[in-house]
Amino acid sequence: MHNITSPIQRSTGLDSMRLERLNRLLFNHYPDAIYTIKLDGTFHTVNETVCEVLQKSREQLLGQNYQLIIHPEHWEESLHYFKSARQGLPQRYQTVVLNTSGEAIFLDVTNFPLKAAGNVVAIFGVAKDITEQKEREQALIRTTQELQHQNEELELFRKIIAHDFRSPIARLLGLGKLLQKDNLPEKTQEKALGALLQSAQQLDGMVRDLNQMLTLHHQGDEPREHCDVEELVQLCLDNMQQEVDGASASITLAGHLDTPLFTVKAFLVSIIQNLLSNAIKYRSAERPLHIKISLVQHGTEAVLSVADNGTGMNLEEVGPSLFKMYKRFHHSIDGKGLGLYLIKEQVRMLQGRVEVESTPGAGTTFKVTLPIH
């Protein structure tokens, strides 16, 4: 007796084949990355989006451990989520992978355990590329921080204008009224004129300082170029030769000062000169001044250090205010309290960071870390 397939059975079989082709088409061309991973962590299947995101062919991915594409900083976290999915627990998390070009790709990942006869046999996953979203979020964070920073400085400028400018202006007005009086004794007149000139110079200096600060915030887009650090250090020493000689300072150059930096030359020169000026200004009266300038490379960054054996500082007391505008910590020494503020702002604009180590009575070391490229 022959088996006869009914029209309904034939139709059902045909629909099943079509459904399978539809599923395969959907799997391969779904806009998000879809994959299955075996319990040993190797890729079993991947769709076209996985290949596009990672810039690898299907042949390169199948059989490869998924951990090899994860950014090293996320290895431990990724392994934790994989183990949880392997234990039968669905997972939703964000991670970062590296494509063939070395670019970091942010992914929103959902992993489901695939089960057969009640046992987990593989992990099914869907990953959405959220790199653009992350970049927008990071840009928004940077913009928010920058606006907060600018608001803080605008408030500082307001306080300076409202408070610090009032004193020299009041003196100028008072001296002006005094000089308007008839029959003013010659000595009093000379003394008043001298005080008036001094107040005018003080006010002029404050206006120029504020202008310098405001100008700084319109900078940052200056062209970057390859800078010979050793050459720039020597240029700064030549420019400050009189101050160096006056302090009887000995200068030592160390490390790899021949390491070229791709940066803004004017900022780098200003940073070096301000650090040298600080070392000379706050030297100890108890011993000859010695300054050591060095440059050390750490991966893609270079650390420029300027160390001295000067008076030093108690960082627990002055640390929070160290890089603020018009903050001075040695009132017996002449200064405006702008040098460290300028250093901090210029280093920030160069996407670097500045750190300080100091011991009262022993000396200070400033470390400026800058990207090499």
Reported as a single tens digit per residue, the pLDDT across 127-142 is 999 999 999 998 999 8
**pLDDT value at position 9?**
42
Amino acid identity of residue 124, one-letter, is F
Is residue 225 located within the same domain as residue 201?
no
**pLDDT value at position 156?**
62
Residue 279 within a domain: yes
Residue 15 within a domain: no
Domain boundary among 80, 106, 129: 129
Nearest to 232 by CA among 340, 300, 304: 304
Whole-number Å distance between alpha carbons of 35 and 214: 54
Residue 212 within a domain: yes
Is residue 182 located within the same domain as residue 98?
no
Whole-number Å distance between alpha carbons of 144 and 132: 18
Mean pLDDT, residues 114-120: 91
**pLDDT value at position 301?**
93
**Could you tell me which residue, 164 or 299, shows the higher pLDDT?**
299
When divided into structural domains, the chain yields a total of 4
Is residue 43 located within the same domain as residue 143?
no
Residue 59 within a domain: yes
The label of the residue with tokens 């001044």 reads 289
Mean pLDDT, residues 325-337: 52
Contacts of 22 (CB under 8 A, 6+ apart): none
Is residue 204 located within the same domain as residue 315?
no
Which domain range does residue 189 map to?
Answer: 168-218
Residue 19 within a domain: no
Mean pLDDT, residues 102-115: 94
Decide if pLDDT at 258 tops 80.
Answer: yes
Q: What percent of the chain has pLDDT over 70?
A: 82
**pLDDT value at position 330?**
52
Distance of CA 157 to the CA centre of its chain: 25
The answer to whether 369 and 259 have CB atoms below 8 angstroms apart is no
Residue 329 within a domain: yes
Is residue 120 located within the same domain as residue 61?
yes
Where b means 16+ CB within 10 Å and e means fewer, 167-194 reads: ebeebbeebeebeeeeeeeeeeeeebee
CATH code, domain carrying 368:
3.30.565.10
Tell me the β-bridge partners of 290: 250
Decide if pLDDT at 219 tops 80.
Answer: no
Is residue 142 located within the same domain as residue 274?
no
Helix (H/G/I), strand (E/B), else coil: 44: strand
**Could you tell me which residue, 258 or 213, shows the higher pLDDT?**
258
Alpha helices in 117-228 (DSSP H): 131-159, 166-179, 186-216
Strand 250-255 relative to strand 290-298: parallel, antiparallel, unpaired? parallel
Is residue 253 located within the same domain as residue 370?
yes
Decide if pLDDT at 367 tops 80.
Answer: yes
Residue 25 within a domain: no
Q: What percent of the chain has pLDDT over 90?
A: 47
Is residue 226 located within the same domain as residue 369?
yes
Is residue 352 located within the same domain as residue 256?
yes
Is residue 267 located within the same domain as residue 335?
yes
Query: What tokens were used for 115?
Result: 């089960």
Is residue 363 located within the same domain as residue 268?
yes
**pLDDT value at position 209?**
67
The answer to whether 33 and 95 have CB atoms below 8 angstroms apart is no
Residue 111 within a domain: yes
Most confident of 68-72, 260-264, 277-281: 68-72
